[in-house]
Structure 1
Amino acid sequence: MTYQLPTLPTDCLNNIVEFLENDKNTLHSCLLVNRLWCKVSVRILWRDLWDNKERSLRMASSILSTLIACLPNKSKEILFKNGIFISTPTSKSPLFDYTAFCQVLLICEINKIVYNVLRDKPSNNSLSLQDRYCLVTNEIIKMFMNQVSLKKLSYIYNHYQYNLSFTYFFEVRNLSELHCGTNLNSDFYYRLSQTCRNLQSISIEFYSNEVSNELKELISLQNNLKKLTLIAYYGNSWKNIIPSITNHSNTLTKLHLCSDYTNLSLSFVSLFPNLQEIVFSFLESADFEDFKVLQFSNFPNLQILKIPYHCPKPEYVMRFLEINGKNLKNFYISENDKDLSLSIANFCPNLKSLCVTLNNDEIDILKNIFIGCQYLERIKIWCGGDYLTVEKVLETIVNHSSNNFYELKIHNSSNSAYVSSEILELFFMKWKNRLPKKSLNLIGINCFYYNYNSLVNEENLNIIKKYENLGVVKFRTRSYYEEGKEEEN
């Protein structure tokens, strides 16, 4: 007598498989269980088709073949009449409507896939590569634009791509996130604005100082805009978009400003009193004179403030913290200034996450921060060179951090950020004896120049493994670029 395992209810299976979203290998294994498991897994795998940035030409060809198979018959006829033949996985209809599962559309990724496949594919007609590329890409995008499941759309045009002309009506109504550029055809924004009124996040890259009226109209028409990112490089400015975004002064809660120089308008930030998160990401140093006005602004709901690169004058930031620091939960600053670092303990008592830079003789400031910020759970700190030694940081953490503390990121500034195996084991032993017992997340961020990590050598890794097995620590390393990207977001 054979025993058959009971079948899980679909809702239950959905909830289980959702936890595997970031485990692509396991998800691919789930495809082979049965049809139900296959359907549930495919839905998650196709939710964001573009998360693999290093796909091979073979993988790109496979994706394109599947997308062609999903095209409506009218689109297939257009390609056929123009002599464009792209093979599909089978001659039959696809098992699933794969594009119906997609929630993310990155047009730049479609551009790359179509171009790379067609570039090496011989042509049987007189159409140029650009014409064939535009025909295929437009039909695929049109198919996606008719999917009600689409949540995120990114379309950034640069000199590596062709600027597409949108000659069809968009049906997207549930779009919640848009990433775009000011150099797109205005008809793209016009058509999008006809149905898309519920964007919660907009990110705009400025390729000139001019902003089309259609883009301004699209922004103005949104009903509940919560997050706005403005990116202006190469001397361009977001000045002309400001009148349109001020319509959302009551709903906007997150504002990210990114540029390669700092002589841009910042005072308009004060027009958004309900901001909970502000990021000033500027790659070049300047006086931030517009911050001179902003330093006196009051943001009663502000919880996250990040200044990951160049910083306004420390006295400006200190005044800003004096007014707004009480409610801050997350503060990231790269400025190495003693008075500014001291002010963190005085003005930010409710911090849970902090990134700070301290000189080698400023260990007392770190102690004061732990005393003044009793809710601190996570800290990232630069070590090596002129900064604090890893040894001093570990000693201060284990002796002065509060019971809430559980995560330490050591950012290696140079290959001099060294810690001996004896010091590391002594730290783990003391952490093991702390009450209440709490596992420590220890993250080593590699040095930018040398790809060096002070915690990674054979002896240290053996010690870390020992205390991982005891449940004392969870250890991982990250690259400088991975960490930088996370902080900008």
Structure 2
Amino acid sequence: MPCQLIYDCLNKIFENLEEDKFTLHSCLLVNRLWREASVGILWRNIWNFKYSNRVDVISRILSTLVACLPNRSKNLLCKNGIFIATPTCKPPLYNYASYCKVLSIRKIDQMIEYVLENQQIAKSKKYLLLEEILKMFMMNQIISLKSLDYYSGGYPERDYYIYFSSFSGTKEYLKNLSELYCSSDIYYKFFYEISQICQKIQTLTIKFKDVISDGLENLISSQKKLKHLKLIQDPDGVCWTEIIPSLTKHPIELTTLYLCSHLENVPLSFIDNFTTLQELVLSFKSEEAFLNNFDQLQYVTFPRLKVLKFLDECPRVEILIKFLEINGKNLEELYVENNDNLLNLNIAKLCINLKSLYTIFKDDEVETLKVILSNCQYLESIGVWCDGEYLNEKDFLEILVKYSSKNFNELRICYVYDGPSEIFPEELEEFFINWKNRIPRKSLSFILKGYCVKSFENKKENMKVIEKYKKLGIIKKFEIENFSEE
């Protein structure tokens, strides 16, 4: 019983380390109990290993998968001149593949390319290795798959298509699939096969390449529980116009819709079919996409909409204001990058229940910032631009202390230009002293992002202030990010 209790406690701790694969990997080496508590969490989604482009990490993952292959597969690879060293000559302690709830065909394909790039091996033989690894995943596995990632990668053509239905155990392995990430140009047989096996997909992400294969519409139409849909158009890819009938023909109660496009004429009117939406994210690189189309949605009511994000270009201000007049009151999160003072004033009036806001203020719009902070009394998080023509850091922090709500706990500052951070340590100290004296006081997450953000980190006195207030519990989290990390 004590041993089981320790195992359960370790398992709970390791759950919080799921994103930190290197620490989890070191836990495998402590002792048997630690290994058994951490191995399943480590291999649940082994593909999101940080620094996964490192050849040593890639080689270890692939060699471990090869070690798990049945002898028949290993012998077949040897006959075809494919030799990949395994960690030991002994059988692995665990069937690591059986722990995977996420399967990324694209990542396995990339790993094989990395490891075999210096070997003169035909593409068809690399495909053979991929096929044998996938067979292993689908045959006699204990855990059914949760998430499948199958972008076209190196094998979109028919000669190298993976016939899932030919693998023993595929139906059992895929029957509970809830997440699918795919590209539109995969050989059509894939979509027809998945349509027959998987009808409980809740999260579907489609990357649109230059072709939309037959069967994609059938896949969409066959889904009975689809909740989250993400449509991403490659720069040279086609738009999603062709699949719209399959989205609107049958009732789909979407809660999340994410659209990303580079085109000017992007169809948006179909969105009004999804009145159950709770989150709408639009990432359009062309301003014309909004100028020509968002007016189709300006009078549509989305009674459950909580999150609205415009990650790149934004609709015309007057059109967006009309949309917010109908839907703004229910919003809890709003993200807009290209806006003006008129929009911000209307956000303060129409979106009073916001908990999170990312918007832009010019340096002469501090009064508008005060109005937003005063009106939005549920606001917990705000993201703004500083430097250049935008807000001055010192002014922004002073206003934040004075006008933000009692629930406020997260501050994001984005530096747009590449000049140095202008805040001085004594100004930073004053801000945290004032924050410490607030009643009630919430610990603060302080996040900086931008091209010049390293200049803040390089100011030793600034970092001393940060460390001081982290120790005092005033700062809950401090992060520095670069735009390149997106």
TM value normalised by structure 2: 0.91
Q: 1:36 aligns with which of 11, 33, 36?
A: 33
Q: 1:86 aligns with which of 84, 87, 91?
A: 84
For the pair 1:427 / 2:427, whether they are aligned, the reply is: no
RMSD after superposition = 2.2
Aligned to 1:153: 148
SS in 2 for 1:41: helix
SS in 1 for 2:196: helix
Aligned to 1:125: none
Structure 2 counterpart of 1:119, which letter?
A: E
For the pair 1:228 / 2:232, whether they are aligned, the reply is: no
The answer to whether the 8 Å contact 1:383/1:411 transfers is yes
The answer to whether the 8 Å contact 2:195/2:218 transfers is yes
- In structure 2, runs of 5+ residues without a counterpart are none
The answer to whether the 8 Å contact 2:28/2:38 transfers is yes
For the pair 1:218 / 2:227, whether they are aligned, the reply is: no
Structure 1 counterpart of 2:27, which letter?
A: C
SS in 2 for 1:188: helix
The answer to whether the 8 Å contact 1:341/1:365 transfers is yes
Q: 1:286 aligns with which of 263, 285, 288?
A: 288
The answer to whether the 8 Å contact 2:420/2:453 transfers is no
Q: 2:465 aligns with which of 454, 463, 466?
A: 463
SS in 1 for 2:288: coil
Deviation for aligned residue 1:454: 4.7
For the pair 1:437 / 2:441, whether they are aligned, the reply is: yes
Structure 1 counterpart of 2:254, which letter?
A: L
CA distance in 2, matches of 1:443, 1:16: 25
Deviation for aligned residue 1:167: 2.7
The answer to whether the 8 Å contact 1:371/1:400 transfers is yes
SS in 1 for 2:325: helix
Aligned-residue sequence identity (percent) comes to: 45
The answer to whether the 8 Å contact 2:420/2:455 transfers is no
CA distance in 2, matches of 1:336, 1:71: 55
Matches within 5 A, 1:66-465: 66-121=64-119, 128-146=121-139, 147=141, 148-158=143-153, 163=157, 164-169=160-165, 170-171=170-171, 172-208=174-210, 210-233=211-234, 234=236, 236-247=238-249, 249-286=251-288, 288=290, 289-414=292-417, 415=419, 417-447=421-451, 450=452, 452-454=454-456, 457-465=459-467
- In structure 1, runs of 5+ residues without a counterpart are 123-127
Deviation for aligned residue 1:453: 4.9
Instruction: Single out whichever of 13-22 and 176-185 deviates more from structure 2.
Output: 13-22
CA distance in 1, matches of 2:480, 2:124: 46
Aligned to 1:8: 5
Aligned residues, how many? 471
Structure 1 counterpart of 2:131, which letter?
A: N
CA distance in 2, matches of 1:108, 1:250: 28
Instruction: Single out whichever of 245-254 and 293-302 deviates more from structure 2.
Output: 245-254
The answer to whether the 8 Å contact 2:156/2:186 transfers is no
CA distance in 2, matches of 1:200, 1:385: 44
The answer to whether the 8 Å contact 2:362/2:389 transfers is yes
Deviation for aligned residue 1:481: 3.7
Give 1 or 2: higher helix fraction.
Answer: 2
Deviation for aligned residue 1:299: 0.2
Deviation for aligned residue 1:145: 3.5
CA distance in 1, matches of 2:72, 2:196: 24
CA distance in 2, matches of 1:56, 1:29: 17
Structure 2 counterpart of 1:92, which letter?
A: K
Taking structure 1 as reference, are residues 242 and 344 closer, same or farther at Cα in structure 2, changes over 3 Å only? same
Structure 2 counterpart of 1:384, which letter?
A: D
Deviation for aligned residue 1:220: 1.1
> What stretches of structure 1 move > 6 A for 4+ residues in a row?
none
SS in 2 for 1:341: helix
Instruction: Single out whichever of 66-75 and 356-365 deviates more from structure 2.
Output: 66-75
SS in 1 for 2:385: strand
Taking structure 1 as reference, are residues 30 and 379 closer, same or farther at Cα in structure 2, changes over 3 Å only? same
Taking structure 1 as reference, are residues 222 and 72 closer, same or farther at Cα in structure 2, changes over 3 Å only? farther
* 1:442-465 Cα deviation digits (max 9, x unpaired): 111123xx4555575122111222
Instruction: Single out whichever of 452-461 and 173-182 deviates more from structure 2.
Output: 452-461
Structure 2 counterpart of 1:231, which letter?
A: I
CA distance in 2, matches of 1:248, 1:329: 29
CA distance in 2, matches of 1:265, 1:177: 25
CA distance in 1, matches of 2:401, 2:453: 27
Taking structure 1 as reference, are residues 63 and 153 closer, same or farther at Cα in structure 2, changes over 3 Å only? same
Structure 2 counterpart of 1:350, which letter?
A: N
Deviation for aligned residue 1:47: 1.0
* 1:110-153 Cα deviation digits (max 9, x unpaired): 1111122222236xxxxx52121111011112222344432111
CA distance in 1, matches of 2:363, 2:87: 61
The answer to whether the 8 Å contact 2:348/2:375 transfers is yes
CA distance in 2, matches of 1:266, 1:137: 39
* 1:389-440 Cα deviation digits (max 9, x unpaired): 1111101100000100011101112226511222211111111110012211
SS in 2 for 1:202: strand
Taking structure 1 as reference, are residues 255 and 77 closer, same or farther at Cα in structure 2, changes over 3 Å only? same
SS in 1 for 2:207: strand
The answer to whether the 8 Å contact 1:418/1:455 transfers is no
* 1:263-294 Cα deviation digits (max 9, x unpaired): 21011111100000000101222252211111
CA distance in 2, matches of 1:387, 1:248: 47
Deviation for aligned residue 1:106: 1.6
* 1:184-210 Cα deviation digits (max 9, x unpaired): 1111212222211111111111113x5
Deviation for aligned residue 1:57: 2.6
Taking structure 1 as reference, are residues 39 and 235 closer, same or farther at Cα in structure 2, changes over 3 Å only? closer
Deviation for aligned residue 1:7: 5.3
CA distance in 1, matches of 2:358, 2:390: 13
CA distance in 2, matches of 1:13, 1:394: 41
Deviation for aligned residue 1:162: 6.2
Structure 1 counterpart of 2:38, which letter?
A: S
SS in 2 for 1:75: helix
